[in-house]
Amino acid sequence: MSTTLLSISGLTKAYPGVKANDDVSFEVAAGEVHALLGENGAGKSTLVKMIYGLVKPDSGTMTLRGAPFAPSEPRAARAAGVAMVFQHFSLFDAMSVAENIALGMERPPRLRDLATRIRDVSEQYGLPLDPGRRVGDLSAGERQRVEIIRCLLQDPKLLIMDEPTSVLTPQEVEILFATLRKLTAEGVSILYISHKLEEIRALCDRATILRQGRKVASCAPATTTARVMAERMVGGAFQTPTRATRATGDIALDIRDLSLPPASAFGTALKNVSLAVRQGEILGIGGVAGNGQDELLAALSGERRSPDDALRLFGTPIGRLGPEARRKRGLLCAPEERLGHAASPDMSLTENAFLTAKDRERLTTRGFIGWRAARGFAEKIISSFDVRTPGPDTAARALSGGNLQKFVIGREMLQRPEVFVVNQPTWGVDAAAAAAIRQALLDLTAKGAAVICISQDLDELMEISDRFAALNEGRLSDIRPAQALSVEEIGLMMGGAQDMEVAHAPA
Amino acid sequence: MPRLERRPQPSARWTWLAPPLAVLVTMVAGGALFAALGENPFEAIRTIFWDPLFGEFAFYYRPQLLVKAAPLILIAIGLSLGFRAGIWNIGAEGQYIIGAITGAGAGLAFYPMEGWFIFPIMIVAGALGGFVWGMIPAILRARFGTNEILVSLMLVYVAEQLLAKMALGLLRNPEGRGFPGSRNLQHYPSAHNAELVANTGIHWGVVAALIAVIFAYVLLTRHLLGYQIKLAGQAPRAARFAGVNPARLVLICLGLSGALAGLAGMFEVAGPAGQITIDFNVGYGFTAIIVAFLGRLHPVGILLAGLLMALTYIGGEAASSTMQLPMAAIQIFQGMLLFFLLAVDVLTNYRVRARKTEVAP
């Protein structure tokens, strides 16, 4: 590579009890895509937050284009030519694309001029986007384009992207990569955070791998295997889930022609969803976030009621039953949102164990709670699912996302579900724990349970599913055997009947 | 500049330290207020907090303490259950009035008959009256999604009008020479909520308040319903996921707090107040809101907060009569208590840090 754009040497940042970054040094060359790899908690976020001026390093220095660089706030970083696309978008649903972009600017031009510029930039980089559309109506991929264009309007020299593909369909990923390649051709550098290794191999020129806050390796992804990179990330050999050959049994859960209106203005309606899962199989449901995943889970958990015949559990209609009655019959669910939905943040793990387990684990007698038994159950979850916490009296919100996820998944799995529905089982969980959760799902089916796994991680779905379907705008695609599917077919299933605006990406 | 940093979990120590600290800060700020009014602050604080308990006339004030604290505690216990579930009954004053009317009405219906069964019937009638008044906002919210804060509050004014109507009409003492107000229940032995032990202030309302404290404590710590109440308040979505029926909880909480407020009204009218009058209610239903929060919505905390609040009432009256402090100053003093409690409360969820350190992501 030619010249160095950003050089980082000896960056260290400690928080009470943990060194988030320990003496990290590396360089980003002009016009390269540089990957930052590592498990959750490896220190990637802290590192880019320091570059973007959100966090101040304890020691160490940075230089940008040869000049010392120590941004005190994001505004200073932006002025120096550093832009960042966050994993979670900060957009207002009720406002238009142009209004949203104007909100992030220090001196926004008139909306009409801004709209013209947005159109220009979006055409130049092959990111189709109508500035007048309301953000609430956009898909996740289109929302990300809003954030990218917001950055591009600042004419950045370095673009930081945090897990940009986690919400995209394979086709949208291709569009994004085309845009990024175009940017690097113009000399812009990209710092690319991800833990999707194949993606990094396809896109990135160099990779820096972090583990427990330290830089442990750097490599050229194109010539390094994904397995080697993964092992460097976790610092050891790596357990891939294994599936036992198993026979599928009777139909456990049968959904027939389920339609539900949206619960809120920005919710998704479920439209004529039909599916059947058998004992001993995993049905994977893919799709971009916001296409009815939450709604489907709510309809299955009983938070939203359906016509009685629309849902059948082992042949018995359950559509009108509430969550407790469904749990008693063996239908258990784990929603995506851990804090506030699957668990109550301020309650202890013992109280949270009681949340869904009171009937199946017999934790009450005549309405009185057996706290000792509940605590015992919480301890069982903690030990069987390797939840890292001081103990069952800890408040749920004190746990890291991954640990709480293990707790929530473990809580349902240890209740021996007949049918288990899970949304985003490994979201935010590190690679080793994710493998353990996937293995637990496979083990569950080996014991004869039926599993519906809703996820946005296609690799995960392909790894564990027997059959696959995708949700698009509340409609479920045809269900197909997972092993025979190609990435293109999956992408088309996720795109649904009416495809999103096709990009005219330059060759 | 020191800065606030969010604690990973609420501090157990500060949960219990905050109220006494708030009382202390209130004494300091209140003392400054009294000094600014030209009074000796130490004497004023002593008159409010010390004399009613240990002063020369404590024999008179101490029973008053229980008489004032009992309705506050009884009402606040009921309110706290709803508050914990995120159900805001602001209309306890109205439920208290209706309970008094139905309780007194039930008793007077038997006049002049004597019988052991009359008082129990009044208790049931009082609780039922408050319950029904609480169910109005409850059903409206559960059925039509109305805001229970507004509805319950507006029903206070309806109840006040009803009270006036009763004092002047249906319940007016036929032998009262046309004066507004009902017969005095203190002169009707079967309906009189008399002192159980002479000169202690202990009447059936005090007993009921203590039972309510124990009941609420057991409910909240051991019973499924208490768990659901807490869950619904802290994480409504998780509560629905767990299978809690929000509408059912609204009915239970508003019904229960209405019934307890009605009980308080009934014990008051049959005992210390004696009769239904136009100005029978003195704001216990509103003060109980402060008591509930001062007590951290915890039954034992409410017991202590009720006693403390009663003390500031009695001490305040003493200070206004012996030191000629204006009543408004006493009310400001009571307001400060809640104000400082909320301020000090920040320390339960946050800790004060010197500059520089950042919050771990």
SS (H, E, C) A177-227: HHHHHHHHHCCCEEEEECCCHHHHHHHCCEEEEEECCEEEEEECHHHCCHH
Q: Does A312 lie in the same domain as A382?
A: no
Residue A502: per-residue pLDDT:
40
For chain B, the average pLDDT equals 90
Q: Does A318 lie in the same domain as A373?
A: no
Residue A87: per-residue pLDDT:
75
Q: Does A26 touch chain B (CB under 8 A)?
A: no
CATH architecture of B40-324: Orthogonal Bundle (1.10)
Residue A237: per-residue pLDDT:
62
Q: Which domain-ending residue is among A172, A205, A234?
A: A234
Q: Does A23 lie in the same domain as A156?
A: yes
Q: Which domain-ending residue is among A209, A234, A259?
A: A234
Residue A44 lies in a domain: yes
Residue A238: per-residue pLDDT:
56
What is the per-residue pLDDT across A29-83, written as a single tens digit (0 to 9) for each? 999 999 998 876 678 888 998 999 988 899 999 999 888 999 988 888 988 999 9
With an 8 Å Cβ cutoff, are B357 and A356 in contact?
no
Q: Does A108 lie in the same domain as A35?
A: yes
Closest partner residue to A395 (CB to CB) among B9, B227, B245 is B9
Residues of B in contact with A18 (CB under 8 A): 360
Predicted TM-score of the model (pTM): 0.77
Residue A2: per-residue pLDDT:
58
Interacting residues of B108 by C-beta distance below 8 A, sequence separation 6+: B171, B182, B183, B185, B188, B191
With an 8 Å Cβ cutoff, are B360 and A344 in contact?
no
For testing contact with chain B, the best of A12, A328, A355 (most B CBs within 10 A):
A355
Q: Does A408 lie in the same domain as A456?
A: no
Can you tell me the ipTM of this complex? 0.84
Q: Does A65 lie in the same domain as A156?
A: yes
Residue A438 lies in a domain: no
Averaged pLDDT, groups of 10, chain A, 507 residues long: 82 80 91 86 84 90 90 89 85 88 84 90 86 82 87 90 79 87 92 82 90 87 82 69 68 93 81 93 87 92 93 94 95 91 94 95 93 96 90 88 89 95 85 85 92 88 90 88 80 61 39
Interface of A with B in 432-471 (CB under 8 A): none
Residue A242: per-residue pLDDT:
67
Chain A: nearest CA to B243, how far in angstroms? 5
Q: Which chain A residue lies closest to B218 (C-alpha atoms)?
A: A368
Percent of chain B with pLDDT over 90: 58
Q: Does A261 lie in the same domain as A161?
A: no
Q: Does B326 touch chain A (CB under 8 A)?
A: no
Residue A123 lies in a domain: yes
Q: Does B189 touch chain A (CB under 8 A)?
A: no
CATH number at residue A225: 3.40.50.300
Q: Does A358 lie in the same domain as A308?
A: no
With an 8 Å Cβ cutoff, are B243 and A322 in contact?
yes
Q: Buried b vs exposed e over B8-31: b needs ≥16 C-beta within 10 Å?
A: ebebeebbeebbeebbebbbebbb
DSSP class of A388:
-
State the residue range of the domain holding A63: 4-234
Residue A436 lies in a domain: no
Residue A440 lies in a domain: no
Residue A442 lies in a domain: no
Residue A441 lies in a domain: no
The total number of structural domains in chain A stands at 3
Q: Does A60 lie in the same domain as A46?
A: yes
What is the per-residue pLDDT across B69-81, written as a single tens digit (0 to 9) for each? 999 999 999 999 9
Chain A: nearest CA to B235, how far in angstroms? 5
Q: Buried b vs exposed e over A13-49: b needs ≥16 C-beta within 10 Å?
A: bbbeeebbbbebebbbbbbbbbbbbbbbbbbbbbbbb
Strand (E) or helix (H) holding A85: strand A82-85
Q: Which domain-ending residue is among A234, A257, A286?
A: A234
Strand (E) or helix (H) holding A4: strand A4-15
Q: Does A344 touch chain B (CB under 8 A)?
A: yes
With an 8 Å Cβ cutoff, are B241 and A301 in contact?
yes
Q: Does A135 lie in the same domain as A228?
A: yes
Q: Does A180 lie in the same domain as A81?
A: yes
Q: Does B238 touch chain A (CB under 8 A)?
A: yes
What is the per-residue pLDDT across B19-56, written as a single tens digit (0 to 9) for each? 888 889 999 999 998 899 888 889 888 888 888 888 88
Residue A335 lies in a domain: no
Domain range annotation of chain B: 40-324
Closest partner residue to A398 (CB to CB) among B8, B238, B357 is B8
What is the per-residue pLDDT across A369-409, written as a single tens digit (0 to 9) for each? 999 999 999 999 999 988 888 889 999 988 877 789 999 99
What is the per-residue pLDDT across B299-331, written as a single tens digit (0 to 9) for each? 999 999 999 999 988 888 888 888 888 888 888
With an 8 Å Cβ cutoff, are B242 and A355 in contact?
yes
Residues of A in contact with B360 (CB under 8 A): 15-16, 18, 20
Residues of B in contact with A20 (CB under 8 A): 360-361
Q: Does A68 lie in the same domain as A21?
A: yes
Q: Does B241 touch chain A (CB under 8 A)?
A: yes
